[in-house]
C-alpha cells in the first residue's frame, strides 16, 4: 500500500480474543527465552499468542508494527532486516513486533494472514493495514513516516527506550564478520529496490566462487522479487486459468504463490504443467523447479516431496 490514513483505524482485524491474554504462558518454563518484555525497552521484540496482549496495550503509547513471518519464507528474510533497520534508526518512536506465524497460529488467524510477509501496524489497540510482500527500504520509510503522522493524529506520540537493551545485546552477542564486497553490493542494491543490480552482484560472486551457497540463495531470492514486482495476482491467475499450458503464465502464479508462502501450491502447479508438456518443452519448467527448490531449501519436506514427484515424471 502507498497511503495510510486515520480512516484505516476501523478494527477490521478481530484482536479482541488476544487483548486479555496473560503476558506469560501458564508454565513459565515454556516461555521462549528470547522474548523481551517491551515495557522494559527494546525497539524490536519477538511476541507470541500469549504475550501479544501486552503489545496491544503498548500500542496505546507508541505505534507498533507487526511483522508476520516464517523461517521458510524467502521474502521474509529480505524484508525483516529492512524493517529492523528502519525501526532501530527511529530510536524508539516505533516498536517492531515479530510474529512467527508457524509458532503462533492464533495470531496468524486473527490477522487473517493469507500470505507472508504481512505487515500491519497497531495504533491505540487498533490495526492499520500496511503492506504484504517484500518491499524496498525506501517504500518502508515512506509508509513508516505516514504511520507516525496517523499515530500523532490519534494522540499516540510516545516512545520506548532501547539503548540499555541494545548495549546489553551488543555485549552478549559476538560481532558478525563483514559481508564480502559483492554480497554487500547486492544488499545495498536490494535496499534501494534495484533488483537488477543485486542480481548482477550475486552472479559475479558465483562466477568467482561457484560454491558460494549464500550467493546462490541470495540470487534465487532476488530473482523471485524481481519477477513478482508489478504482478497482479488476480490477473495472473486469470491468465493461467485461461491457458493451462502457457508456461510463462504458470510461472507467474507459481512465483506469486512462493512469495506468499504457498509453497505446495507453487510446486504442484509447476509439476502438473511438467506432466502435460511434451518432452522438448519441459526443460524451462524443470529449471524453474530446481531454482525454487534451492530457494526453499533442500531440507524442507515440501521440497523432498516435490523432488520425488519430479523424478517419477522424468523416468
Catalytic site residues? 73, 76
DSSP calls for 78-103: HHHHHHHHHHHHTTTSSEEEEEETTT
- Cα of first residue to Cα of last residue in the chain, in angstroms, is 46
Total residues found in the chain within this entry: 315
- The crossing angle, in degrees rounded to 10, of helices 247-259 and 213-228 is 110
| Cα-based distances in Å from 134 to 81, 82, 228, 287 | 11, 10, 10, 24
Contact 41, 164 (CB under 8 A): yes
Q: Using alpha carbons, select from 147, 114, 116 the residue that is nearest to residue 129.
A: 147
C-alpha 117/C-alpha 260 separation (Å) is 7
Amino acid at each position: 500500500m502507498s497511503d495510510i490514513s486515520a480512516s484505516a483505524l476501523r478494527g477490521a482485524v478481530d484482536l479482541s480474543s488476544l487483548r486479555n491474554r496473560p503476558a506469560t504462558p501458564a508454565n513459565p518454563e515454556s516461555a521462549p527465552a528470547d522474548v523481551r518484555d517491551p515495557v522494559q525497552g527494546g525497539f524490536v521484540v519477538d511476541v507470541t499468542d500469549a504475550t501479544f496482549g501486552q503489545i496491544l496495550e503498548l500500542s496505546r503509547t507508541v505505534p507498533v508494527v507487526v511483522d508476520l513471518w516464517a523461517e521458510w519464507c524467502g521474502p521474509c528474510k529480505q524484508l525483516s532486516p529492512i524493517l529492523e533497520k528502519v525501526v532501530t534508526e527511529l530510536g524508539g518512536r516505533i516498536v517492531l513486533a515479530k510474529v512467527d506465524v508457524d509458532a503462533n497460529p492464533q495470531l496468524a488467524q486473527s490477522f487473517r494472514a493469507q500470505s507472508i510477509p504481512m505487515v500491519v501496524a497497531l495504533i491505540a489497540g487498533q490495526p492499520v493495514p500496511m503492506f504484504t510482500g517484500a518491499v524496498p527500504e525506501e517504500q518502508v520509510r515512506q509508509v513508516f513516516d505516514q504511520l507516525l503522522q496517523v499515530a500523532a493524529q490519534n494522540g499516540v506520540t510516545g516512545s520506548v527506550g532501547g539503548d540499555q537493551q541494545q548495549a546489553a545485546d551488543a555485549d552478549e552477542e559476538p560481532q558478525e564478520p563483514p559481508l564480502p564486497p559483492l554480497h554487500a553490493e547486492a544488499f545495498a542494491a536490494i535496499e534501494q529496490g534495484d533488483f537488477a543490480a543485486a542480481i548482477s552482484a550475486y552472479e559475479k560472486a558465483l562466477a568467482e566462487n561457484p560454491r558460494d551457497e549464500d550467493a546462490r540463495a541470495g540470487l534465487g531470492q532476488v530473482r523471485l522479487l524481481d519477477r513478482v514486482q508489478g504482478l497482479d495476482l488476480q490477473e495472473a491467475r486469470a491468465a493461467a486459468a485461461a491457458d493451462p499450458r502457457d508456461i510463462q503464465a504458470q510461472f507467474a502464479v507459481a512465483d506469486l504463490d512462493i512469495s506468499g508462502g504457498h509453497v505446495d501450491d507453487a510446486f504442484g502447479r509447476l509439476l502438473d504443467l511438467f506432466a502435460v508438456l511434451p518432452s522438448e518443452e519441459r526443460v524451462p519448467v524443470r529449471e524453474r523447479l530446481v531454482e525454487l527448490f534451492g530457494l526453499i531449501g533442500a531440507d524442507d519436506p515440501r521440497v523432498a516431496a516435490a523432488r520425488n514427484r519430479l523424478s517419477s515424471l522424468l523416468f
